[in-house]
Structure 1
C-alpha cells in the first residue's frame, strides 16, 4: 500500500462548495438492491465548486461536473427519448446560476472544468465557461464521437466540448482506454500513481490538495475527485 506523506505545515488546502446541477427522476432499482421496480426517486445531479489557492497566491476556481442542461432541447435527438423516461427533470437553477448567486461569473472566474464523465446529466452547458480549461478522463473524446456500450454516438450532441480547450488525462497502465486515448499532444502531463488502496490517482496541482482518481466501469474515462 502506498500512503501519502503527512500534511506539511504549509500544506495547501481547498474550499469545496456544492452547486445545484438540477434534479432527475430515476428508477430506484438502478441504485437500491431489491427495490420495487415501480418506485422512482428524484435525485440531485451533484456538482461542486473547488477553490484552490497556491503557495504563490494564484487562485484557481474549478467546477467539477456541470449537471443537466437548462434547455433539454439542446440535447441530441437520440437522447430525448431517454429523457422522457427520466421525468420529472428540474433544470433551474443550474451550475452557472448557482455560481452567479455566489457572486462568481462562470465566463470569467472559472479557470477549470473537470467532468467526471460525459453522461447527459453531467455535461451541462460547457459554453457557459468560455475561458476555462476542460479536463476529462482517458478515452472521453473518442467516446463522444463514436459512442460506447449502451450509449451510442447518436446520444451525444455534436461537438459538446470545446476541443481546443479540452485535454484528456493519459491512460493508466493496462487501461482499457489505451487504444482510444487522445494523441499525446492532446493529453495532460499528469502521471498516475497509487495512493492508499486506490491504484491510480494523479495530483492535479502537484501540491497534494486535489487528487483525480481513475474510476473505471461507469463510462470510459470516469473520474472521481478526492482530498487525500
Structure 2
C-alpha cells in the first residue's frame, strides 16, 4: 500500500497517502463485513509519522491516483494540504463509491483540476505540473473514473510511470493481462476501460522500455526501488 513523496525544485507533494492514522476507525465504519476477509491490512507507520520522524516539511499538496481506501486513508492527516482530484473522481466520491469517513471532514481543501488535450507520448491527455517535462500526470480512467498516472524523471535521468491500480503486477504488461475476473468484479469501476488502459500501458512499455512501470501494490518493483527515507535520485 504505497505512497510517493515527490520533491521538485518548484514544489513537494504526496502522490497518494496510503493508510493513515485513522485507518482503524475508517475501516470499522465503512468496510462492508463481506469484503473484510478479502481486503485486510497489516499495521503500518502512516506517512505523516514517517515524514515527521525524518524532519520533512509537511506537504501542502496531495495528488490522488484515485480515491479507494488504501490510497486515500491518510488525507485526513494533512488538514492544511490541497487535495487534487479530477472532477470525475470527485463525483465518484459524492456518489458513495468510497469510504466516506476518509473524506468526511468538511474543511478538506479540494482542488479540482483537469488534464489538457496535450498529447504526451501515447496518451491523449496530460498535465505537465512544472512545465519542464519531469512531472507529468496522465489519464488512467477505468479502475475509477478519475484515475491518473504520474510520470517522473529524476535528476539522474531515470524515468518512472506510477500507474496506480490499473495494474497490480508489472509482469502482466508482457501479455497485457487483466486482473483476475474476481478482482475485476470487486475493484474495477469499468472493466473494459481498465483493460484499454492496460493495453495502453503495455504499448507504452514497448515504446519506452527504459521507463520503469510502478503499480501501487507490486512489491517486486517497489522492493527494487527502495523505501523512504531513501530517495530515487
- TM-score category by the smaller chain? 0.5 to 0.7
**Residue among 112, 126, 129 paired with 1:168:** 112
- Structure 1: which 5+ runs fail to align? 1-44, 55-59, 171-189
**Residue among 120, 129, 138 paired with 2:78:** 129
Query: What is the TM-score normalised by the length of structure 1?
Result: 0.58
**Residue among 66, 69, 72 paired with 1:120:** 69
State how many pairs are aligned: 152
Say if 1:63 and 1:110, in contact at 8 Å, map to a contact too: yes
- The aligned residue for residue 182 of structure 1 is none
Query: What is the TM-score normalised by the length of structure 2?
Result: 0.57
Say if 2:73 and 2:102, in contact at 8 Å, map to a contact too: no
- The aligned residue for residue 33 of structure 2 is 81
Say if 1:66 and 1:125, in contact at 8 Å, map to a contact too: yes
Q: Aligned pair 1:93/2:18, yes or no? A: no
Q: Aligned pair 1:52/2:52, yes or no? A: no
Deviation at 1:191, TM superposition (A): 2.5
Alpha-carbon deviations, 1:81-130, whole Å to 9, x = none? 2552246512321211221232125xxx3121001000110012222212
- The aligned residue for residue 104 of structure 1 is 56
Q: Distance in 1 between matches of 2:113 and 2:28?
A: 26
Q: Distance in 2 between matches of 1:90 and 1:165?
A: 29
- The aligned residue for residue 14 of structure 2 is 63
Q: Distance in 2 between matches of 1:200 and 1:99?
A: 32
Say if 2:20 and 2:76, in contact at 8 Å, map to a contact too: no
Q: Distance in 1 between matches of 2:66 and 2:107?
A: 15
Give SS of 1:125's match. helix
Structure number with higher helix proportion: 2
Give SS of 2:111's match. strand
**Residue among 196, 205, 212 paired with 2:137:** 212
Q: Distance in 2 between matches of 1:82 and 1:163?
A: 31
Deviation at 1:76, TM superposition (A): 6.6
- Structure 2: which 5+ runs fail to align? 154-233
Higher relative contact order (CA 8 A, sep 6+): 1
Give SS of 1:139's match. helix
RMSD of the alignment, in Å?
A: 2.5
